[in-house]
A and B are shown apart, each in its own frame.
Chain A
């Protein structure tokens, strides 16, 4: 442990000296060292532990790993250095002020993410949690012009979450008198739910996820990738930690199920309606967290209905999706970073035709789209299949609620999956296919090799894990026994993945064969796109993002808040007409804003006190003095 963290700490020195190359090098080395330790801990050989002693009220702090934190550690030590590597090249293209401080905060953010996995002391955990929120806030506001307001929004949301965590940990301390993590098992309901709610703020579950679509689009692309792929997983880590050592009743699980379902539905319909590349990706993170939540609920239901196979499949699916989401989501964020640098725009209706001007970026993006819409050969399919498999096990359950939830979840996940396919085929086809819709997109050129290194590595990883399901399953197995289920429960899944590998082999073989035949036998001739007889097609005649989702909009209208503005003059002859449509966040508009307004109105009541006049301040102290005098006279013996 000391070795890896030392290397990562050392990386802060080149960071302050603005030497981002060395910074990345240190991060790669440190992550390798830490990754080695995480692997050891995951397979249970040596979970080295350290003890720090504090003066009395704080007690002793244990530092150590369990399989769960080792798993998340592996996710971080894979994802963070790739993010930093991409950031190294991205910052070079996107020259801004304050490179040194940005790298410093980036390093601190990564360090604190690794740190919270080791700490077994609630107070220290909370401190590092705050460090993580603060440092990521500084990373988000790299581009000062437009990111300060969303960044502050993010910071405040995180503070509310941390506040809940503080109360939860405080109550746990009051009832047990210890700051150790062992107090987290078998907790009282109130602190338990406060903690779960606090972690949900970070994880981005349904009602408290509105910071994601605000902070991600304005953050530099490597930061959005790291935050969406890795940092929100720290919230999930907290939730899983609590779930692993507490028992839940059926009603509570059903509430979780509802939240997970709403998260995935809410996330995907907003991703569907959104026309900003990075905002859509942020909404889709909410959807993916919802899918992970569905897996966890299936696991919990299997647990209480005495169906270990269903339980282990649910948890395995959730963990696999956690791992895979940390591969494909950063990939998509990094590639939208490439698009942003090439075109200076993230609005998909201003892009188009990039598949020809940016061939590598567009092909890698296609891999990400495959994975995120859970189509075969992408790795998203493997994890969603595992969750489906768990639900199918639940169909035969004797326990009626588990059975009903399984049926409902199967249909709901298929619905969400189909909507995700629509959302991402829209993002991909409007921004990469067809012809350029604006000058900016016409001028796009492919990025240099550096900007493509991290995406290529991620893309290869996605395909490898997508083709061989058993591979990633190996990393999940030790975790399951830690959750208290037999590894044999996954035996059936392993066999299925074996056969699925063969099927994918046949699929690829067929595809290659057909491609070869076409390559050899067919000659091509180029011609204009058929325009129904119209000879001069223009870029603006293409389908745009609004039209693409129109058939579904009738059904989704009640769930999305869309602001429409239309400037037109009712003249005899049609003049210039402008129509704009913007997706607003429903929760933010109807929950968060009214609540904050209420709080502000309440605080306004007291603002009259602070009126800036010296004489009234003197009057206040006089009143206080007189009151004090009465109090002393009354209570003095």
Chain B
């Protein structure tokens, strides 16, 4: 029950915290961290302006994307809580459900016939080409060291263990790979700048230029939920086992990640669009490194 409540109510807090930490870094007071909720509620009640070029895809895409992301979230362990659903090999399903959400939003962007949205769509999809192998490699490293179970149990089995140096290294490396993936998937600096004022330089925001009202509310919520999925995976990897303080540690880790996203955003500029893909390769190489280290350890008996 608790995970479902968290999936429904927690996501919109995430962009709120990021915005607030950015504001504080910039020396402003900033908006309330609950601002995204007000925004969401306001958008939900509004009618929509739809592009006259748009066909049926534009109308159903946000719904499908939300449904797919919600179902994927059911497989994610939320801190000390077990996931709602789970079976052996379910991470492939999670990966492809997220790909479905992304794919249908890309089609919706192309449906509007706007060149800006096409630009965002093609950039967004090209990231996927390197993120999916990275995800697979990360999971195969985890399975290699553990056993084939559901995503939730793989991750919790691998929770950091301070008494073993290997667990420490692999958990930290994998968490850093996941953190880069989080920055890409959540459309954050240095890959994408949600606050830029020029359509040419955005990715995720430019794909949804023509959305408004109800659909836009769903899209904001979906994006936040996707961020929660990645943040939860990272937090879970770093919680040392299950004990009394686990819920607290989960929320502290979540908070730290969000603040660090805010910090990155305040201290760094967005990278050049055409060189971004090279950075997206970093998670692939980190996970390859972990995998190779684990195999070498098994073979060489370090």
Do these two chains interact? Answer: yes
Distance of A359 Cα from B57 Cα, bound (Å): 11
Distance of A511 Cα from B214 Cα, bound (Å): 15
Distance of A418 Cα from B100 Cα, bound (Å): 11
Q: Does A414 contact B (CB under 8 A)?
A: yes
Interface code B84-99, partner A: CB below 8 Å = 1, 0 otherwise? 0101111011011101
Total interface residues on A, CB under 8 Å, equals 83
Q: Does B15 contact A (CB under 8 A)?
A: no
A526 touches B103 (CB 8 A): no
Q: Which of B27-35, B142-150, B166-174, B234-242 binds A?
A: B142-150
B50 touches A530 (CB 8 A): no
A526 touches B118 (CB 8 A): no
Interface code B37-72, partner A: CB below 8 Å = 1, 0 otherwise? 000000000011111111111011001101110110
A433 touches B55 (CB 8 A): yes
A-chain residues with CB within 8 Å of residue B88 when the two chains form the complex? 492, 496
CB distance from A147 to the nearest CB of B (A): 32
Q: A375-B99, A499-B87 are in contact. Are A547 and B47 (CB under 8 A)?
A: no
Distance of A518 Cα from B63 Cα, bound (Å): 9
B-chain residues with CB within 8 Å of residue A429 when the two chains form the complex? 106-107, 110-111, 121
CB distance from A505 to the nearest CB of B (A): 10
Distance of A400 Cα from B93 Cα, bound (Å): 27
Question: Which secondary structure characterizes the binding site on chain B?
Answer: helix
Distance of A492 Cα from B111 Cα, bound (Å): 41
B67 touches A428 (CB 8 A): no
Q: Does B183 contact A (CB under 8 A)?
A: no
B148 touches A543 (CB 8 A): no
Most buried by B among A395, A435, A549, A555: A395
B50 touches A526 (CB 8 A): yes
A422 touches B92 (CB 8 A): no
Contact of A554 among B49, B70, B97, B277 (CB under 8 A): B277
Most buried by B among A366, A381, A503: A503
Q: Does A521 contact B (CB under 8 A)?
A: yes
A537 touches B147 (CB 8 A): no
Q: Does A5 contact B (CB under 8 A)?
A: no
Q: Does B205 contact A (CB under 8 A)?
A: no
Q: A388-B92, A543-B115, A547-B118 are in contact. Are A511 and B133 (CB under 8 A)?
A: no
B107 touches A395 (CB 8 A): no
Contact of B115 among A373, A381, A428, A541 (CB under 8 A): A541
A-chain residues with CB within 8 Å of residue B131 when the two chains form the complex? 418
B85 touches A503 (CB 8 A): yes
Interface code A523-542, partner B: CB below 8 Å = 1, 0 otherwise? 11111111110000101011
Q: Does A425 contact B (CB under 8 A)?
A: yes
B-chain residues with CB within 8 Å of residue A522 when the two chains form the complex? 47-48, 213-215
B112 touches A434 (CB 8 A): yes
Q: For window 168-188 of chain A, which residues contact chain B by CB distance below 8 Å?
A: none
Q: Which of B16-24, B122-130, B184-192, B257-265 binds A?
A: B122-130
A-B contact pairs, 28 of them (CB 8 A): A353-B113, A355-B57, A374-B96, A376-B100, A388-B92, A393-B148, A395-B148, A396-B143, A410-B136, A414-B132, A415-B129, A419-B129, A422-B128, A422-B129, A425-B110, A429-B110, A433-B57, A433-B110, A503-B93, A522-B215, A529-B113, A537-B113, A543-B119, A543-B122, A547-B119, A551-B123, A554-B274, A555-B277
Q: A411-B133, A417-B99, A496-B88 are in contact. List 16 more A-B contacts (CB 8 A).
A: A352-B113, A353-B53, A363-B56, A376-B68, A396-B148, A410-B136, A410-B140, A413-B136, A425-B103, A425-B121, A522-B47, A525-B49, A529-B53, A529-B114, A530-B51, A551-B274
